[in-house]
């Protein structure tokens, strides 16, 4: 029974009672088209296995959360999202998409090689099952610190960042812009929480989306430039892959405090802290820690399982309320927020 209801809410979406709740955007009709790229698995909830649909571990629990968040209204809701491989696609034109760190090309290409060497050394340690967390956290601080040091030493300019983004293989998932627009219209804040580089994420948004959103804040490593646009240093405490949970709210700065090209005041951290219903988007189970700084009442977590589906699905299904497979577009999340914030609601 509840699965049928969930299907009608999240997956089918074309029945009259739900259609009237949808926002008046043309993209909605596209949300239900099938892509033919779905993972065909017996536990897949979708009745039409050719559609991009969510895998849901506990549909009763999810329905309760949807009801609670919808009843509390959009004023209580915030979205916390990881950036790389969550908002962006895992694959672009058949190749692995680049990350906000990975796409950056320095003035001295020798330093690109040095950063790659650090990646090859530290990345296996990051995922080692035998290194204790405390030790691993120190290693990650070391990796990020050395990488940032190489960026300063080998030279980065703001113009170089623009060119790197222009040359990069990075793309947002289809539906991300519509998701941000929907949330912006309802004054629902979005925290993009990333261990990457804030200045690059902003430039990706400028070049790929061609606009900025007043409700979006980027919590990530931020560069300091001199008057000639040369990288001098990094601001604040380093955010790496294992401390994304500690500074989500307190390190948040406005999206465009430097360029000032977003109208209106930035969202205050205090306002975000009073929004106790959370929609969390991530592509790693560790991303669930992004909401740890918040004493939330209800949290719906959406996981994007981009690769190695067969081995990882069980863990993702247990960890996240909903799991999208195989680099799915963002349309399912657009549909979800339209149900959390129905037209005519608060
Ligand atoms: Mg990610």
Residue pair 97/89 in contact by the 8 Å Cβ criterion: yes
**Whether 82 is catalytic:** yes
pLDDT in tens, 190-244: 999 999 999 999 999 999 998 889 899 898 999 999 999 999 999 988 999 888 8
The predicted structure's pLDDT at residue 346: 54
Question: Domain residues for 157?
Answer: 97-167
Residue pair 248/292 in contact by the 8 Å Cβ criterion: yes
176 and 225 together in one domain: yes
pLDDT band for position 308 (cuts 50, 70, 90): confident
Catalytic residue among 84, 283, 287, 327: 84
Q: Kindly state the DSSP code that residue 10 receives in the 8-state scheme.
A: I
**Whether 167 is catalytic:** no
pLDDT in tens, 57-115: 999 999 999 999 999 999 999 999 999 999 999 999 999 999 998 999 998 999 999 99
183 and 217 together in one domain: yes
Q: How far is the CA of 154 from the centre of ligand 1 (A)?
A: 26
150 and 182 together in one domain: no
**Is 146 part of a structural domain of the chain?**
yes
178 and 327 together in one domain: yes
288: domain CATH number is 3.40.50.1000
Q: How far is the CA of 228 from the centre of ligand 1 (A)?
A: 32
pTM, rounded to two decimals? 0.82
Q: How far is the CA of 63 from the centre of ligand 1 (A)?
A: 26
Give the per-residue SS3 of 197-224: EHHHHHHHHHHHHCCCCCCEEEEEEEEE
pLDDT in tens, 169-179: 999 999 999 99
**Is 346 part of a structural domain of the chain?**
no
Of 301, 288, 332, 192, nearest to 249 by C-alpha is 192
pLDDT band for position 343 (cuts 50, 70, 90): confident
Say how far apart CA 91 and CA 213 lie, in whole Å: 25
């Amino acid at each position: 029974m509840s699965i049928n209801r969930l299907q009608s809410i999240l997956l089918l979406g074309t029945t009259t009672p739900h259609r009237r709740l949808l926002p008046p955007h043309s993209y909605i009709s596209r949300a239900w088209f099938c892509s033919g790229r779905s993972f065909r698995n017996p536990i897949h909830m979708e009745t039409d296995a050719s559609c991009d649909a969510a895998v849901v571990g506990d549909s009763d629990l999810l329905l309760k959360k949807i009801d609670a968040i919808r009843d509390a209204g959009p004023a209580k809701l915030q979205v916390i999202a990881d950036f790389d491989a969550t908002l962006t696609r895992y694959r672009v034109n058949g190749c692995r998409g680049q990350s906000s760190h990975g796409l950056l090309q320095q003035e001295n290409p020798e330093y690109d090689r040095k950063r790659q060497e650090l990646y090859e050394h530290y990345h296996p340690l990051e995922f080692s099952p035998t290194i204790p967390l405390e030790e691993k956290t120190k290693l990650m601080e070391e990796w990020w610190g050395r990488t940032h040091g190489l960026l300063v030493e080998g030279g980065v300019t703001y113009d170089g960042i623009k060119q790197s983004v222009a040359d990069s293989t990075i793309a947002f998932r289809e539906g991300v812009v519509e998701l941000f627009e929907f949330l912006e219209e309802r004054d629902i804040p979005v925290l993009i929480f990333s261990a990457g580089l804030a200045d690059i994420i902003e430039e990706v948004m400028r070049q790929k989306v061609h606009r900025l959103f007043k409700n979006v804040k980027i919590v990530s490593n931020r560069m300091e430039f001199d008057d000639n646009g040369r990288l001098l240093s990094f601001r604040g405490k380093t955010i790496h892959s294992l401390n994304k949970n500690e500074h989500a709210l307190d390190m948040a700065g406005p999206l465009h405090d430097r360029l000032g090209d977003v109208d209106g005041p930035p969202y205050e951290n205090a306002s975000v802290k009073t929004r106790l219903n959370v929609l969390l988007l991530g592509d790693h189970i560790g991303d669930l820690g992004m909401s740890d700084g918040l004493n939330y009442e209800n949290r719906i977590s959406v996981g994007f399982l981009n690769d190695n589906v067969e081995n990882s699905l069980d863990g993702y299904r247990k960890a996240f309320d909903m799991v999208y497979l195989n680099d799915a577009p963002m349309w399912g999340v657009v549909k979800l927020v339209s149900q959390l914030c129905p037209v005519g609601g608060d």
